[in-house]
């Protein structure tokens, strides 16, 4: 049985739904039900009557700007928590981020490219990765990027844009940060595919999993406007015109080569966005193509 942590976040919810649809037995815990940074709570659950063959950790401190002022809280959730989970001896699929990179590259980052975080959030996520890679554990570190779920209640870029489009004649969006927008429902299906393939049973390694392709936040916003038929004008601006508390990488596209070598070819971000905003069923088999190996 699968154990899912951070189950009330946008990825956690999508993963629970994917498990239900695919008849994958799981037990899910929200932050309120299990603080993964609390080693004794984690150990009590792992020693309990239920047998878990894998943990998928969707729990994280994800407020990139707030993390600059709440480093201890971010470290507890993003570094200590995955380490606590791995130390139970249960194989761990841990979700990490493109923000471990500094974004100075100009080609997709490979899994073994050097990590150089620019922010407290990135630093704490990298600390979590290092603890897992150096601890002799079994599992996967799945780096993803620019996650949004189709849930209208989720806090994400797509819902923020929809709200702004409805209330303003013009919205300015940064055009010099490039990444891969990733639908949480697609990522959830990729996580379950990795689990079904048994890849979590190998010594800990990194894999990248996003929707394919790349866009700037401006291009992403234009696509959201197009899909929703918004009349609002979208204006491209530079990062320097929209200063934020945390520094973000300028280019953080992740190479999907390893994921594809394992037979998983994600659909493009534009197709996924269309599915999220217009096409209804996100739990079908559209999230990725199975490649023959
Ligand atoms: N969102 C993105 O754009 C993005 C990009 C790259 C990578 N990622 C990674 O993707 C994963 C999922 O992110 P998401 O977008 O689903 O984030 P999310 O919506 O913020 O969900 C994270 C969940 O983790 C919970 N949580 C925080 N601290 C916890 C703790 N100590 N123990 C247990 N649960 C805890 C949060 O609960 P509370 O809200 O109650 O604290 C929240 O429900 C994370 O690892 C994140 O770093 C996300």
Find out whether 261 and 111 touch, Cβ atoms under 8 Å.
no
- CB-ligand 1 contact for 225 (6 Å cutoff): no
- Between the CA of 214 and the centroid of ligand 1 the distance, in Å, is 23
Nearest-CA residue for atom 19 of ligand 1: 9
pLDDT of residue 80: 98
Per-residue pLDDT, averaged over 65-80, amounts to: 98
Q: Residue 113: helix, strand or coil by DSSP?
A: coil
CATH label of the domain that carries residue 260: 3.40.50.720
Ligand 1 atom closest to the Cα of residue 34 is 33
Per the structure, how many domains does the chain have?
1
pLDDT tens digit sequence for 201-238: 999 999 999 999 999 999 999 999 999 999 999 999 99
Per-residue pLDDT, averaged over 34-58, amounts to: 97
- Between the CA of 88 and the centroid of ligand 1 the distance, in Å, is 21
What tokens appear for 280 in the block?
A: 């209804």
Give the residue ranges of DSSP H helices in 152-235: 157-167, 184-196, 217-228
pLDDT tens digit sequence for 126-149: 999 999 999 999 999 999 999 999
8: left (phi over 0), alpha (psi -120 to 50) or beta: alpha
- CB-ligand 1 contact for 145 (6 Å cutoff): yes
pLDDT tens digit sequence for 89-122: 999 999 999 999 999 999 999 999 999 999 999 9
Residue 283 has pLDDT above 80, yes or no: no
Find out whether 112 and 157 touch, Cβ atoms under 8 Å.
no
Instruction: State how far the Cα of 1 lies from the Cα of 52, in Å rounded to an integer.
Output: 5
pLDDT of residue 292: 74
- CB-ligand 1 contact for 35 (6 Å cutoff): yes
Q: Count the Cβ atoms, other than its own, within 10 Å of residue 22.
A: 14
Which structural domain range is residue 77 located in?
A: 2-290
Backbone Cα Rg of the chain: 18
pLDDT of residue 293: 66
- CB-ligand 1 contact for 55 (6 Å cutoff): no
Q: Which residues are catalytic?
A: 121
- CB-ligand 1 contact for 115 (6 Å cutoff): no
Ligand 1 atom closest to the Cα of residue 99 is 6
Backbone φ and ψ for 205, nearest 5 degrees, come out as -145, 165
pTM of structure: 0.97
Backbone φ and ψ for 8, nearest 5 degrees, come out as -100, 5
- Which of 3, 17, 42, 59 to mutate to test ligand 1, by most ligand atoms within 8 A of the CB atom? 59
- CB-ligand 1 contact for 97 (6 Å cutoff): yes
Residue 150 has pLDDT above 70, yes or no: yes
pLDDT of residue 282: 78
pLDDT tens digit sequence for 13-22: 999 999 999 9
């Amino acid at each position: 049985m699968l154990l899912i942590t951070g189950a009330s976040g946008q990825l956690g919810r999508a993963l629970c739904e994917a498990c239900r649809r695919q008849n994958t037995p799981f037990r899910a815990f929200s932050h309120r039900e299990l603080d993964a940074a609390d080693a004794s709570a984690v150990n009590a659950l792992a020693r309990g009557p239920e047998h878990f063959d894998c943990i998928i950790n969707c729990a994280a401190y994800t407020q990139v700007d707030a993390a600059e002022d709440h480093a201890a809280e971010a470290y507890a959730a993003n570094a200590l928590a995955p380490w606590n989970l791995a130390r139970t001896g249960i194989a761990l699929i841990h979700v990490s981020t493109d923000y471990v990179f500094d974004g100075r590259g100009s080609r997709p980052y490979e899994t073994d490219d050097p990590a150089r975080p620019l922010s407290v959030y990135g630093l704490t996520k990298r600390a979590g990765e290092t603890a897992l890679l150096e601890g002799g554990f079994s599992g996967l570190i799945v780096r993803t990027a620019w996650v949004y779920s189709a849930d209208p209640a989720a806090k994400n870029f797509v819902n923020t844009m929809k709200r702004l489009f409805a209330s303003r004649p013009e919205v300015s969006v940064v055009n010099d940060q490039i990444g891969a927008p990733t639908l949480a429902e697609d990522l959830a299906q990729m996580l379950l595919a990795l689990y079904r393939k048994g890849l979590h049973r190998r010594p800990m390694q990194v894999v990248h999993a996003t929707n394919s392709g790349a866009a700037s936040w401006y291009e992403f916003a234009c696509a959201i406007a197009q899909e929703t038929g918004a009349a609002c004008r979208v204006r491209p601006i530079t990062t320097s015109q929209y200063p934020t508390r945390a520094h973000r990488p300028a280019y953080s596209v992740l190479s999907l080569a390893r994921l594809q070598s394992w037979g998983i070819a994600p659909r493009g971000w534009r197709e996924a966005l269309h599915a999220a905003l217009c096409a209804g069923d996100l739990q079908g088999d559209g999230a990725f193509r199975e490649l023959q190996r």
